[in-house]
Structure 1
Amino acid sequence: MNALCCFGVCFVLLVEVSAGFGDLWRPENVNIDSLNTRYVLRWDWPHETNQAVTFTAQYLGEFHSRKASYEKYWTPVCVNVSEHRCDFTGAELHYQGLYLLRVRANTSQQSSSWVQIRFCPDKHAVLGPPSSVKLNSVKGNLEVIISDPVSSNNQSMKTLLDNNLSYLIHYWRRSEDPQTAKVLQTKYNVVALPELDRQTWYCVRVQSRYEYYNKSSVFSDTHCARTEGPMPYWQIFLYFLISMLVCFLLVLLLYFCFYKMFTFLKNTFWPAVQLPDHIQELWLSDSEKPQLLAPGSPESVCEPLVMVRPELDAVSVDEHLNAEDQDSSAHSRHGSGDSGVYSTEEDSCHRSSTHTDLQMTSKKHREELHDGTLLELCA
């Protein structure tokens, strides 16, 4: 018996040594990537060789492996493929069956030994989430409509799982964190969520579950909807306050615009600049209102009016008046030599009145004006 054990150990060591130095390396990290009824066998082959390497993958029902000549029952799926994967979805493996899958590496001269794994879709295949989730707001409640996950040929996974498929529903207010979600488990495809507030947004996500093998899918996409029904009183009060604030701001804006427009029109058509006092007195006096005469009319008389700065003293004005008096007297002597005493008296009165008027005008304009401008007054 000990001799047989030693012989077996030596044989195994010899096989491994021959594989390491002469035989082709086998594929490594062989595993099955599955979702519902989609199965893809994957492996690694990180070795280098001077020859082109291909791969062959096969499957066998486990009940055939108990037969003596089970090698003939192996069914090839991928033969001499260069990729490190093989899709078994088209092999139509029974979901509740038990199978053996194997793969090996090939070259033009030799083949590696087989690498074999055991696969049961019902136990090992990953369960997918619901194919779709919809929300309907009905009479103040949210109704969740769930569609079953489907197989590769669009068959409901519930029929493959003997109606042992259930759903885990998470729902929460949209303003809250999903970690505070309420949980509801059901086997039905249409579920009404309980204990919901009216006029509130809720979000929902759904997970598929298979209790027999304790399998759970990832969650579906998150869907949100708003419940109907009468609005809560606090929301009504809040909307009322917001509307009052908006109305107040609107009225304030209209008032400001009206005030600006009124001020602009008033300054345009009724300016605040007043006429000088001596013109207002003349206009409001009981005497005959002044009338404008057309230029060049025989009644128009123009005399120069000197406008002086307020800081000018009376001496400058007197000098100007004396110069005008001398010009006037000389003109009177040359032009009216034979007029006698009457002309002299008339010139004297005229000079006196003119001097008095100019002094009064100069005094009044020194109080009114700040710049020296020479105007010509026609009366």
Structure 2
Amino acid sequence: MEAGIVGLPNVGKSTLFNAITSSGAAQAANYPFCTIEPNEGIVSVPDDRLRRISALIVPKKLVPAVLKLVDIAGIVKGASEGEGLGNKFLSHIRQVDAILQVVRCFEDPDVIHVSGKVDPLSDIDTIETELMLADLEALETSLQKANRTAKSGDKEAKLRAAAIEKCLAHLSAELPLRKLVLDDAEAKAIASFGLLTAKPILFVANVDETDLEGKGPLVMKVREHAAKIGASVVPVCAKLEAEIAELEESERGEMLASVGLAQPALTVLAQEAYRTLGLQSYFTAGEKEVRAWTVPVGATAPQAAGVIHTDFEKGFIRAEVYTLADLETYKSEKEIRAAGKLRVEGKSYIMQDGDICHFLFNT
């Protein structure tokens, strides 16, 4: 699963990407297309539960969950019609599973805004409009093909055409597809299209150092908009986070304390991006390692086992499961067993965020 960082030019996307991947701070550039090919980075998802588990089951190493981030070049008005190499950039977005939209919520006369003024809602509308126009074009082209195939009596093509028409009607009402309810068959019929406005979205409000909590008027506008569409907002000062990322680990705490932060905003961002992707973690714990494994919300125990190795899913017998609360209460897995708190779950078990598991399987 991966998330794409998008936004207008000069909103701080690349600075944010470089900070969150600890690859160094980028200098703000007063030209639109400083990112031509999408940069990719693997980001650890901070999770204090790893530390708490390892305090009682002491391992040789800790392995956090990770997610993939893609830094996609700035989108401008007219991108859906090819402006600013728009079609190429939009194709990069089709390949990701969720969108992290960076919205500029700071004033700086030295960093030119592509529209000449800082207006986060206008920026959001520009991006959403371009994504909707791109989806309309892709669906209209696909509908022609589906209708031709449907004439031969192909049932799948008929279903696909009906699903496409449903999407087109929704988009024509100027509504993004993430708010459209499709049944499983309809969703499967159009899954390969990579529709842009169907992807979940998280807004990243890029603030200045005087508004680290994101309580200023510009961020509040973004929060109000996000609340209306069921999205979340994370305020981040990309410039500050880039500076923190360049420091040695031992120096970061002092820097954070000096600006009144308990932890880097990027920690919150990584966690919220993980949630936006519809992901959760379960853990395995032993002397070799304590590790967080990533599964979609709603995954079954066999599917979770398959994340470790495909043979685990194929030969799944059962899962032995306990919670971090159990571990902190009884102090060891042995005592959890003795207290009868170790649960045995079968193939239909739906994994819960934070489960600590052993899987039994046949090879």
Shared fold (TM-score, shorter chain, > 0.5) = no
Q: Which of these two proteins has the greater Rg computed from alpha carbons?
A: 1
Pairwise TM-score range, normalised by the shorter structure: under 0.3
TM-score w.r.t. length of structure 1 = 0.18
Q: Which has the higher strand share?
A: 1
Q: Which has the higher contact order (CA 8 A, sep 6+)?
A: 2
TM-score w.r.t. length of structure 2 = 0.19
Q: Which has the higher helix share?
A: 2
